[in-house]
Structure 1
């Protein structure tokens, strides 16, 4: 069969690869959020628009075209947090801080790094919960958190339950602020996090919870917060929080999100 009429060059292949990579990053950014449903709806309308253009259905393609072009401002408002995360992910990429180019391709993280020791993190939180010791642990995912590390005290300690408990011990000079974990290493303590200005946060939540919500609104990091008043463990992701009574359910959720 003769396919000589198809004009397919190297640049076309490169174009397809780059578009696929962009869509994958957008999916990773929106996965697990309400915005993913909006994105799927927009993608569906865009596909229909392209089909109607190819079939020369002028009226329908014109309507869909105006709908897509006129909704740019609305999309910026709807995806404000996601756009911020995407730009932050690009802007905080630090090639000199990693040993090799592949380590910057964070979507290959599960293939090039060891599995996160989530059991140690959860067990540490459980022990802190029993003594009602306040704690705020930030687990880095795709977005580089070096811009936050610089606000605290740098550390390069292998993840260990005793170290985590000693950091948040009430008389410890390191307990104030957040602790950041990256690739099974505690990389910083006493980190200052951005406080959320969300007015929907329950008034019973203090600065620790507001800081956890704030950093997850601006990055794709996940946080574990132990209340010093009640000992409850909160799981915070994408600006939302869940209180887990089941240790197994919490462990499973953290494992899934750190592997994603």
Structure 2
């Protein structure tokens, strides 16, 4: 019977598996679609080779790889600095009582509300783009945005297209800065966002785009920018630009990111 000991399964084993699954899910969400996923895969491969060399008792190669992995932990902190920050923000801002509850049950109602206001936002951006009216819209996900909302004017207005268009109208007193949208409501206007210092941002993108990159680097919020020069709509997530020629695909992507 001793040979069957490995078949014993405890409640703690189930909890262990669930926690690892949640951890891997959050890591996947952070690195999905970015260069970090390739770096992460490379690290995993090196780690597996190291374990294999230990199993085969290849002492010299095992020692070299062991030293590399030991020093590499410090390199990981540098390479994945933004991802680690976003991971900690994501975990720290997750609330069992909030709308981002891990065990949220009322999915259908929330999905319908999300669909309604995302459609409205994209429709407004399309109209603003057709008249080459610049706009910067930040949509909250998990991370609280009080530190940027406090730089602007607090509002509490249900999202609708005429309101968004009137805010960014060139002669409007509210058109400077960004607006913040939370749960389908405009909660702040004339917001000043942190500007990214990333030198890889193409020169054709102006201050609005750099501000959108900045807020998406420092939080898990997503941002929409309408270019004043071209009318093009840019979607910013995790500090990266996404250009959608098909606005239906853009709408679906935003809904997926907010769910």
TM class by shorter chain equals: 0.7 to 0.9
- In structure 1, the gaps of 5 or more residues are none
Please report how far the alpha carbon of residue 197 of structure 1 lies from its aligned counterpart in structure 2 after TM superposition: 0.6
| Match in the other structure for 1:205 | 205
CA contact (8 A) 1:225 1:234 kept: yes
| Match in the other structure for 1:219 | 219
CA contact (8 A) 1:137 1:225 kept: yes
| Match in the other structure for 2:74 | 73
Please report how far the alpha carbon of residue 196 of structure 1 lies from its aligned counterpart in structure 2 after TM superposition: 0.6
CA contact (8 A) 1:216 1:239 kept: yes
| Match in the other structure for 2:27 | 26
Please report how far the alpha carbon of residue 256 of structure 1 lies from its aligned counterpart in structure 2 after TM superposition: 3.7
| Match in the other structure for 1:119 | 119
| Match in the other structure for 1:230 | 230
Please report how far the alpha carbon of residue 35 of structure 1 lies from its aligned counterpart in structure 2 after TM superposition: 0.5
The answer to whether 1:186 aligns with 2:186 is yes
Distance in 1 between the 2:215 and 2:39 partners?
Answer: 23
| Match in the other structure for 2:131 | 131
Secondary structure of 2:122 counterpart: helix
Write the deviation string for residues 192-211 of structure 1: whole angstroms up to 9, x where unpaired: 11101112223332211110
- Relative to the length of structure 2, the TM-score reads 0.82
Distance in 1 between the 2:51 and 2:155 partners?
Answer: 52
Query: Pairwise CA RMSD of aligned residues?
Result: 3.0
Q: 2:101 aligns with which of 89, 99, 105?
A: 105
Distance in 2 between the 1:104 and 1:256 partners?
Answer: 14
Write the deviation string for residues 50-76 of structure 1: whole angstroms up to 9, x where unpaired: 4655x4635355444333212112211
- In structure 2, the gaps of 5 or more residues are none
Please report how far the alpha carbon of residue 179 of structure 1 lies from its aligned counterpart in structure 2 after TM superposition: 1.3
Distance in 1 between the 2:144 and 2:160 partners?
Answer: 22
Please report how far the alpha carbon of residue 125 of structure 1 lies from its aligned counterpart in structure 2 after TM superposition: 0.4
Please report how far the alpha carbon of residue 20 of structure 1 lies from its aligned counterpart in structure 2 after TM superposition: 2.4
Distance in 1 between the 2:144 and 2:105 partners?
Answer: 13
Secondary structure of 1:103 counterpart: coil
| Match in the other structure for 2:46 | 45
Secondary structure of 2:99 counterpart: helix
Please report how far the alpha carbon of residue 128 of structure 1 lies from its aligned counterpart in structure 2 after TM superposition: 0.9
Q: CA 1:5–1:85 in 2, change beyond 3 Å: closer, same or farther?
A: closer
Secondary structure of 1:190 counterpart: strand
Distance in 2 between the 1:148 and 1:109 partners?
Answer: 31
Between stretches 152-161 and 77-86, larger displacement belongs to 152-161
- Relative to the length of structure 1, the TM-score reads 0.81
Distance in 2 between the 1:165 and 1:205 partners?
Answer: 22
